[in-house]
Amino acid sequence: MAAAWGTVFATAAMSWARALSGRYDLSIDRMRDKISLPARFLRSASPPVPRSAFYAVDLIERIHADSEGDKTLRYVPTLRWRGDDGLPEEAGVFPQADKRHGENFCAWLRKVILADPSNPQRG
């Protein structure tokens, strides 16, 4: 029984440390005008991207299958930017189960990331 509780506490502690690390956060650095994208599962975080490189935020519908094979529709806010080599890149962030929530999050990302930095009205 002690081993089972030890496993539960160890797993909870690792999850808590992972959440606090910030590696899985979308970070908007207004001082440096850069965006840090969340790390992917078992991959390291990519270097920050200048906000000026972003050109679109789209909501992509994807079918998600769970461990039992049940399929649900997920709405993935997707950031699009030009990489250092000029080629288009994209990253989906924080999939949503509700389309309205996905649309609202995309609208907020557009306001914060794509807005003109000289405009004081941006989020």
> What's the pTM?
0.67
d(CA 53, CA 79): 11
Question: Higher confidence at residue 11 or residue 88?
Answer: 88
Which pLDDT belongs to residue 21?
A: 44
Which structural domains are found in the chain, ordered by start? 2-114 (2.30.29)
pLDDT digits (tens, 9 = 90+) for 8-50: 766 666 655 554 444 557 788 888 888 888 876 545 667 888 9
Residues 21, 16, 92, 96: what is their CA dihedral angle, to the nearest 10 degrees? -150
